[in-house]
Amino acid sequence: MEPMNSLEGEDILSQPTAPLSPSIHVAPTLRDGECYHVFISYSSTDYQWTHSLISQLESCGLQVCYHERDFTPGRTVLENMSDCIQESQKVLLVLSPEFLRSRWCLLEANMSLFRDCLERKPIVPVLLEPGVSVPLHLCHLTYLEAGDPDFKNKLLKVLCTPNQHLQGSTVVPYHPPTIYNGKALQPLIAANDEALNKWDSGQFSDMEVPDQLRLIIRNHETYRKAVRMINSVSENKVFLRPVWVRVLIYITGIIFLLGLVAFSTYITALFCIGSFAPQEENTTPTGVWVFTISGLCCFPFGFFIQICLWMNDNEKYILREMQKAIGQANTILSEEKVLMGCRSNSKIYLVYVSLDSCKREFAETFSELAVAEDMFQRALIFFSSGYACCLAKRHFPFPLPSSTGHLEGGVCFCQYVSQQLSVGQWA
């Protein structure tokens, strides 16, 4: 779909609503537990257009449920929404930019509820304006466009068709379409985010697969295994990073050196007494005292410098280790068309992207299949985290290639790898 300008959007919202044809379609019978034919979810900014539609639907004999009239006061929005969905035959979503910013976020906040709805109720997405980005969980469904001259009669036909006669109205099985290739998903936030230190690695839950990924990843154990790889950074890489551990190590080193100096002093004194001119009793050679005093003065200065260097390297060190772990995780996640990336120790970006074409490019570049597979895996380990972050942020730190890659409207993975190699980034 081509993006549309604001003037065209205003025309659609203000255009008169064409009358429906109730004589052609008959409202289906409500079954036990059903009170409404359709539950409509919309943004308040789309009130005028939606209520004009509601009036026409109700004039055709359809029972319509919407929040302003039918939600029970005193209950939470999600509780009301759950009951209204269960009591309705179908769910109609009026998709507009404001809806995606507000009410869609509310639906995603309790995606377990919404997924249950998707599996039992036909979803009717309506694009209020051309160019609206269809959410990942809905983009495989056939949607209606408000600008279609025959939109109202098409909608009435869907709403008046019994659910058992509608085919392919649920999300199972889920096949993400290519139009969503390269799009960002909701990022993962570390469970220990509030108590996270610079020398710590974020811990991410591997118990529950996020709802947004349940509809994409076929093998949920793949996600759990990937998260465990990332969590291993905290277990194996940060035990020497806390300041108190470093201080303890440094003090132990100082004690060891002082003991070594004392032992050397004792041996030197015995050597001088036995081999050279007589010395006064209990007298230590002057050189030994100078060495000892100089060492004691240098220890605090060296300790201060070392702590400063450690503190400065904390965040960079952990980030590097997390990126390495995420690269390893991406070697298995890429098979599910998902990549992870991080730019901090508390947040992981997720993108849906297919690397199949890029993988074939590697196979064509390297004649031997084993070599091509090895190079592709190495590229995933070293570069996939940075690539996922660039896709999620929609920004690449270099000019976009002039040649067309494998990702429509963006930089594909093999183009990203080629650019990184050209500036000597291969590790």
pLDDT (0 to 100) of residue 88: 92
Q: Report yes or no: 149 and 19 within 8 Å, Cβ to Cβ.
A: no
Residue found under tokens 């910013």: 101
Q: Is the pLDDT of residue 10 over 60?
A: no
Mean pLDDT of 283-310: 57
| CATH code for the domain of 149 | 3.40.50.10140
Residue 1 included in any domain: no
Residue 244's SS3 state is helix
How far lies 403's CA from each of 294, 379, 399, 413, in Å? 64, 20, 12, 13
Q: What is the pLDDT of residues 90-108, one digit of tens each?
A: 989 888 888 877 665 555 4
Q: Of 28-37, 92-101, 229-238, 353-362, which gets the smallest average pLDDT?
A: 229-238
Q: What is the pLDDT of residues 336-350, one digit of tens each?
A: 889 999 998 899 999
Cis peptide before 28 (omega within 30 of 0): no
Mean pLDDT of 58-65: 94
* More confident: 325 or 114: 325
Is 117 found in the same domain as 42?
yes
Question: Among residues 141, 220, 178, 210, which one has the least CA distance to residue 355?
Answer: 178
Q: Is the pLDDT of residue 72 over 50?
A: yes
Residue found under tokens 């035990």: 239
Is 280 found in the same domain as 418?
yes
Q: Where a domain ends, among 117, 147, 175? A: 175
Q: Report yes or no: 215 and 171 within 8 Å, Cβ to Cβ.
A: yes
Task: Give the domain extent around 322.
Answer: 180-427
Mean pLDDT of 76-82: 78
Q: Where a domain ends, among 136, 151, 175? A: 175
Residue 163 included in any domain: yes
Residue 233 included in any domain: yes
Is 377 found in the same domain as 241?
yes
Query: What is the DSSP code (8-state) at residue 181?
Result: T
Q: What is the pTM of this model?
A: 0.56
pLDDT (0 to 100) of residue 81: 81
* Structural Rg of the chain based on CA atoms: 33
How far apart are the C-alpha atoms of 162 and 29, rounded to whole Å?
Answer: 8
Residue 98 included in any domain: yes
* Residues with Cβ within 8 Å of residue 254, at least 6 apart in sequence: 299, 303
Question: Among residues 141, 183, 139, 174, which one has the least CA distance to residue 354?
Answer: 183
Q: In one letter, which amino acid is 144?
A: L
Is 38 found in the same domain as 114?
yes
Residue 169's SS3 state is coil
Is 371 found in the same domain as 252?
yes
How many distinct structural domains can be found in the chain?
2
**Please, where are the H alpha helices in 141-207?**
151-159
Is 147 found in the same domain as 38?
yes
Q: Of 74-83, 166-175, 260-269, which gets the smallest average pLDDT?
A: 166-175
How far apart are the C-alpha atoms of 411 and 358, rounded to whole Å?
Answer: 11
Q: Report yes or no: 238 and 318 within 8 Å, Cβ to Cβ.
A: yes
Is 278 found in the same domain as 153?
no
Give residue 37's pLDDT band: very low, low, confident or very high (50, 70, 90): very high
Is 225 found in the same domain as 197?
yes
Q: Where a domain ends, among 158, 175, 192? A: 175
How far apart are the C-alpha atoms of 364 and 241, rounded to whole Å?
Answer: 44
Residue 150 included in any domain: yes
207 half-sphere exposure, CB direction, 13 A CA radius? 3
Residue 92 included in any domain: yes
Residue 264 included in any domain: yes
Give residue 388's pLDDT band: very low, low, confident or very high (50, 70, 90): very high
Q: Which two tokens stand for residue 262?
A: 């004392």
How far apart are the C-alpha atoms of 3 and 197, rounded to whole Å?
Answer: 44
Is 201 found in the same domain as 81?
no
Residue 141 included in any domain: yes
pLDDT (0 to 100) of residue 122: 83
